[in-house]
Structure 1
């Protein structure tokens, strides 16, 4: 069954967070607050999507760009809906929309403690970067930003 995809809006926030919390391997942080999510969606309009299957919310993905590179975040599909092409449909939609905007390269961060996530991305042809290190700094916020 092909999932039905639609653009995410801030009105979907509660359902989005519920889905993320019910998905193994997905981390929810302070930076995923309603306000921060609203800023992200406003800065990256029409680039984040929800997937419905059998009338139920089954998955989501958020994407954006910095003008040069795309970034995918929070790809999540509930376990009961996996292996139906939902993740692939969500990722393809994001990549197509980014390409429409002239963005040819995209990145995703996968937590080291999420081997199923890493296996998914590698199975889709994404390359693990070994030539860079990502450094982060949190200013004036909690450690969970």
Structure 2
């Protein structure tokens, strides 16, 4: 294997672990308050000084605001994913998921394409999320839609 292949595999592993950690957080915080410490595994792979998340409604968030939204979401929903596609090109990982968001009054399945951008230290500097869903969804809070 060469250095490019090694890095590609390493970045893909980071993204898949992010998904696994996020799913665990949403499961573990259903019966207790969600805290910033719950998100330490994700925070550890982020360049917190330079991070930007652009959500499905072009809503931009730095790490503190993103964490605030994650904290809101995690305690209200259980999130699971099914990997549909993942690939790495240079410092970018493209991940397509089928996401299931479950709340007490319903479940929603959405398709997302997330683009993770990394710096030279393998820290995430940007996350851009694109989504497909059925047109009428009012039973599930989608991160970034809380004011819609």
| TM-score of the aligned structures, taking structure 2 as reference length | 0.31
Identify the structure with the greater strand proportion: 2
> Higher helix share goes to which structure?
1
Q: Normalization by structure 1: what TM-score? A: 0.31
